[in-house]
Amino acid sequence: MSDYSRKTWPMMDSSMPINRTTEATGTDGRDQFDGNDSISTVALGKGDDVYRVTLDQQAVEAPGEGTDMFWLNAPTGEARSATPYQLPENVELTYVNVWGAVNLIGSSGDNAIILSRDDDIIDGGKGDDLLWGNNGHDLFIVSAGNGNDSLVDFNVEPWRQGGNYGPDKMQLNGYDFADFSAVVSAMREEPTLDMVGRPTTDVILDLGNGEHLTFFDRTIASFRAEEFDLSGCTGASGPRPFDLPSSIRWEYARHGGEGADTMISTDNSFYLHQKFDGKGGIDVMDGGPGDDIYVVDSLRGDTVIERAGYGIDTVISWASRYALAANVENLEQRGTYTSWMTGNDLDNRILGNDARNFIRGEAGRDIITGGGGADDLRGGAGGDMFVYATASDGGDTIHDFKPGEDLIDLRPLFTGGDAAADQVQLAQVGASTQIRFDADGGSTAQGVLLATLIGVGVNDLNAGNGLVV
């Protein structure tokens, strides 16, 4: 047997007496929050604390305040949310007590995340994480630059750990794998002991750049191609679909008045992720190191101030014209009127409203969703992705689409199944290409117009070069 051993995680000191509370704050000792629907944010402070919260609540812990446990009690029978629940920072152990499916993203630290049952989506986030999906058909998301994760029960033999496991799926993002054979070539086996001391084998997948992924209780020969989603990898030829981070759910909201307000966060603010809403007037909003959300509503010029490396930030604009400030990543348009939206040099996620939008992504790799209305779209420099969430998002004009670099993402139109023949129609119209969508597939009628790509020939666009279906 080699000197390989599985990573271990810190445990709580259960010998200390515990203070059970339904209040928003705790003591310097060991506390347990037992739930209170009237409280949205809980901060128990020092000691090895236990948080029992719902999807509508959040925990706030500072670094060095003990080894903490997070019990997430999700409602029974509710559908899995499309928006991930962001696990709190500085809470090391997470258990999900739920009889319905959940969608989770871990914190930037090392997490041990153990789910209950059903078909879950689990993204450990940054740090070296231990992920345990338990029963159900789970989707695990692992992305480049996020550390070295370990999977306890990824399609293991049921007798090994008990229960009804898999089939699970692993989505790899940002790695240099062209196909399944490349994944297998990067694997090695390590003999070890399982959780009850029996001899077993773990598989280590070398992800490159010093990162690896560990699968407990597997052999290389046991893996199958259908266990992996490589659509987010860069090894295959042509542009690949990608994702960009969203802002973490805010912990504290700062509101201004009807006049001109100046709201400034500080590096030592108790709440890391904040929402700023100046209300009326020409406001100045200066964020801190967390993921901040800014509500902009003045055409005369609300000012947003952010610094490089200070989280993933989002502007929600009610103004009909807005250009993202420096160091702010994402822009969402509200209202029912025509709007002009402009990104910046970062990788931006830009979402229009259901009226007509004039959107310019500028430099960077941007994800642009025009929303309803006949939108006028320009991605700018960089490989951009234009997303169509519903057929009613169509009628757009894309002025600078570059086959082989940019993407049209139609995957949301095919939820519940793959694209059928003739559902996507391409037609040359003058020097441009029209993309239409026929929900029935195979009908003789023209489909709904999604987009006109100016200056793009129909032969330059296909499912391997610009279209993602």
Q: State the residue range of the domain holding 274.
A: 252-468
4 in a structural domain: no
For residues 285 and 304, is the Cβ–Cβ distance under 8 A? yes
Query: Edge-to-edge strands of the sheet including 293-296?
Result: 252-255, 274-277, 293-296, 314-317, 330-333, 349-351, 367-369, 385-387, 407-409, 467-468
- CB-neighbour burial class of residue 148 (10 A; exposed 0-12, middle 13-18, buried 19+): middle
**pLDDT value of residue 184:** 94
Average pLDDT taken over every residue of the chain: 84
193 in a structural domain: yes
12 in a structural domain: no
DSSP codes of every residue in 404-433: TT-EEE-GGGGTTSPPPTTSEEEEEETTEE
310 & 455 share domain: yes
**Alpha carbon of residue 373 to chain centroid:** 26
pLDDT digits (tens, 9 = 90+) for 285-333: 888 777 889 999 876 778 999 988 777 899 999 999 999 999 999 999 9
pLDDT digits (tens, 9 = 90+) for 183-221: 999 999 999 988 788 899 999 999 998 999 999 999 999
Domains: count for the chain: 2
226 & 340 share domain: no
Q: What average pLDDT score do residues 413-437 get?
A: 80
- CB-neighbour burial class of residue 408 (10 A; exposed 0-12, middle 13-18, buried 19+): buried
pLDDT digits (tens, 9 = 90+) for 254-273: 777 777 777 777 654 566 77
183 & 264 share domain: no
Beta bridge partners of 323: 342
What is the Cα–Cα distance from 3 to 190, expressed in whole angstroms?
9
CB atoms within 10 A of CB 397: 16
What is the Cα–Cα distance from 272 to 292, expressed in whole angstroms?
8
161 — pLDDT class (breaks 50, 70, 90):
very low
What is the Cα–Cα distance from 282 to 304, expressed in whole angstroms?
11
Percent of the chain predicted with pLDDT > 70: 85
| Least confident piece of the model among 144-148, 174-178, 362-366 | 174-178
42 & 136 share domain: yes
**CATH number of the domain bearing residue 426:** 2.150.10
8 in a structural domain: no
322 & 178 share domain: no
11 in a structural domain: no
**pLDDT value of residue 271:** 67
189 & 150 share domain: yes
pLDDT digits (tens, 9 = 90+) for 95-136: 666 555 678 888 888 888 888 766 788 999 898 999 988 876
Q: Which residue has the higher pLDDT, 234 or 452?
A: 452
**pLDDT value of residue 100:** 56
442 — pLDDT class (breaks 50, 70, 90):
low
- C-alpha separations of 464 from 25, 403, 406 in Å: 54, 10, 12
Percent of the chain predicted with pLDDT > 90: 37
33 & 151 share domain: yes
- For 344, phi and psi rounded to 5 degrees? -135, -160
245 in a structural domain: no
- Determine which helix (DSSP H) or strand (DSSP E) holds 368, and give its type and residue range: strand 367-369
pLDDT digits (tens, 9 = 90+) for 34-48: 888 888 899 888 888
312 & 457 share domain: yes
Q: Which residue has the higher pLDDT, 13 or 417?
A: 13
Q: Which residue has the higher pLDDT, 29 or 440?
A: 29
149 & 37 share domain: yes
pLDDT over 90 (residue 335): yes
293 in a structural domain: yes
Pairing of strands 50-53, 284-286: unpaired
pLDDT over 60 (residue 419): no
pLDDT digits (tens, 9 = 90+) for 46-104: 888 888 888 888 888 888 888 888 888 766 545 556 678 888 888 777 766 655 567 88
- C-alpha separations of 359 from 383, 396, 466 in Å: 16, 11, 20
**pLDDT value of residue 12:** 67
59 & 178 share domain: yes
pLDDT over 60 (residue 275): yes
What is the Cα–Cα distance from 210 to 208, expressed in whole angstroms?
5
Placement of tokens 């086959």 in the chain: 403
For residues 370 and 387, is the Cβ–Cβ distance under 8 A? no
211 in a structural domain: yes
**pLDDT value of residue 433:** 95
> Could you give the 3-state DSSP secondary structure of residue 60?
coil
pLDDT over 90 (residue 232): no
> Could you give the 3-state DSSP secondary structure of residue 98?
coil
204 & 266 share domain: no
214 & 173 share domain: yes
23 — pLDDT class (breaks 50, 70, 90):
confident
